């Protein structure tokens, strides 16, 4: 069987399949269904300096081959995470990636300090949330702001910093280069694509926030293209996500240049999806006679 271990900017993962932020909570619910230790890692629900209730409902809508969400970073706040959720997660044998969102660079710095001291394995700096008014997407669409947040996070973090990019830009390589230049140890992409759905009878948008973020199988080709572009533009490792629901999808993402992958919306349709993705990826490696899953990374043969 192929060696499934990968390394993401110094963080050892027993396999390349992780859970995308916001789609797995803090692991408690899925932990009742199966042994989450089989996964390589978990990126926890986006944390903010203080508790957030999130946006009003409806904030989830099913769309063709995907979903829209406008959850808006509902979370207990970084201190409650450290006190109540992290100790539970640490009982598991998987990499803990703390996903953070701030309204100012200082807030990112403050959370990096607290989370490093609390012993997470990696920090994922979300500069790409389309569902919050302050910060969020503004940082992810402007290279100079993305670089500023990255530099502050790096200055305050004692663990590797991964910056999560938004697909809601014209040229994602520009942002990728900016965060690499500011010291990012890894890059994750993609966050959700801004979208909208309208109820024809009421003539109201389906989401209370009017717009939301699109994810699920519909976005896979966009994500694969963007991972491929970013892989050609930077040297830091990439965590690829967006629309992965099978081992072949994960393999595509790795061939495009990702060192590891994350499964998100697919777990809403099928809670077992992350494990299935892993098993199918293992089967692909074996069928292709690979000694290591790492052989897939960046191995696409463009025409």
Phi and psi torsions of 119, nearest 5°: 95, 35
What is d(CA 188, CA 171) in angstroms, rounded to the nearest whole number? 16
Nearer to ligand FMN, 99 or 141 (CB): 99
| Both structure tokens of 164 | 């999560």
Contact yes or no for 237/84 (Cβ under 8 A):
no
**Exactly one of 47, 68, 71, 129 is catalytic; which is it?**
129
Nearer to ligand FMN, 65 or 290 (CB): 65
Nearer to ligand FMN, 60 or 233 (CB): 60
Nearest distance, CB of residue 20 and ligand FMN, angstroms: 3
Nearest distance, CB of residue 183 and ligand FMN, angstroms: 19
Nearest to 266 by CA among 20, 96, 11: 20
Interface contacts to ligand FMN, rule CB under 6 A: 20-23, 45-46, 69, 71, 73, 99, 126, 129, 164, 191-192, 215-216, 219, 241-244, 263-266
20 DSSP assignment: P
Nearest distance, CB of residue 19 and ligand FMN, angstroms: 8
Contact yes or no for 15/293 (Cβ under 8 A):
yes
Nearer to ligand FMN, 219 or 236 (CB): 219
Contact yes or no for 200/171 (Cβ under 8 A):
no
Nearest distance, CB of residue 1 and ligand FMN, angstroms: 26
| Both structure tokens of 160 | 């590797």
Question: What is the number of the residue whose Cβ is closest to ligand FMN?
Answer: 22
Nearest distance, CB of residue 22 and ligand FMN, angstroms: 2
Nearest distance, CB of residue 229 and ligand FMN, angstroms: 17
The single residue listed with the structure tokens 């502050």 is 152
Cα 197 to the chain's mean position, in Å? Answer: 24
Nearer to ligand FMN, 50 or 291 (CB): 50
Phi and psi torsions of 75, nearest 5°: -165, 160
User: Is there a catalytic annotation at residue 129?
Assistant: yes
Nearer to ligand FMN, 178 or 265 (CB): 265
Contact yes or no for 208/57 (Cβ under 8 A):
yes
Q: Is 228 exposed, middle or buried (0-12, 13-18, 19+ CB in 10 A)?
A: buried
Distances in whole angstroms, Cα of residue 86 to Cα of each of 3, 40, 72, 199, 208: 29, 17, 22, 40, 32
- Catalytically annotated residues: 129
């Amino acid at each position: 069987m192929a060696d499934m271990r990968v390394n993401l900017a110094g963080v050892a993962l027993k396999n390349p399949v992780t859970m995308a932020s916001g789609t797995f909570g803090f692991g408690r619910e899925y932990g009742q269904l199966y042994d989450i230790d089989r996964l390589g890692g978990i990126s926890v629900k986006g944390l903010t300096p203080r508790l957030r209730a999130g946006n009003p409902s409806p904030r989830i809508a099913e769309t063709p081959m995907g979903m829209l969400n406008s959850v808006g970073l509902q979370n207990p706040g970084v201190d409650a995470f450290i006190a109540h959720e992290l100790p539970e997660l640490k009982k598991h044998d998987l990499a803990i990636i703390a996903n953070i969102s701030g309204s100012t660079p200082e807030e990112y710095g403050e959370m990096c300090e607290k989370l490093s001291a609390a012993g997470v394995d990696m920090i994922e700096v979300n500069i790409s949330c389309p569902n919050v008014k302050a910060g969020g997407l503004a940082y992810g669409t402007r290279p100079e702001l993305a670089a500023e947040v990255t530099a502050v996070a790096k200055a305050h973090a004692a663990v590797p910093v991964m910056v999560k990019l938004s697909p809601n830009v014209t040229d994602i390589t520009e942002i990728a280069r900016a965060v690499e230049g500011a010291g990012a140890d890894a890059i994750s992409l993609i966050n959700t694509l801004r979208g909208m759905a309208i109820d024809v009878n009421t003539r109201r948008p389906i989401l209370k926030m009017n717009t939301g973020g699109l994810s699920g199988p519909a976005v896979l080709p966009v994500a694969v293209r963007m991972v491929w572009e970013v892989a050609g533009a930077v040297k830091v490792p990439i965590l690829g996500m967006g629309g992965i629901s099978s081992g072949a999808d994960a393999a595509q993402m790795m061939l495009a240049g990702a060192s590891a992958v994350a499964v998100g919306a697919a777990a809403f349709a099928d809670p077992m999806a992350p494990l299935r993705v892993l098993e199918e990826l293992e089967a692909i490696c074996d069928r292709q006679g690979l000694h290591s899953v790492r052989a897939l990374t960046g191995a696409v043969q463009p025409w």
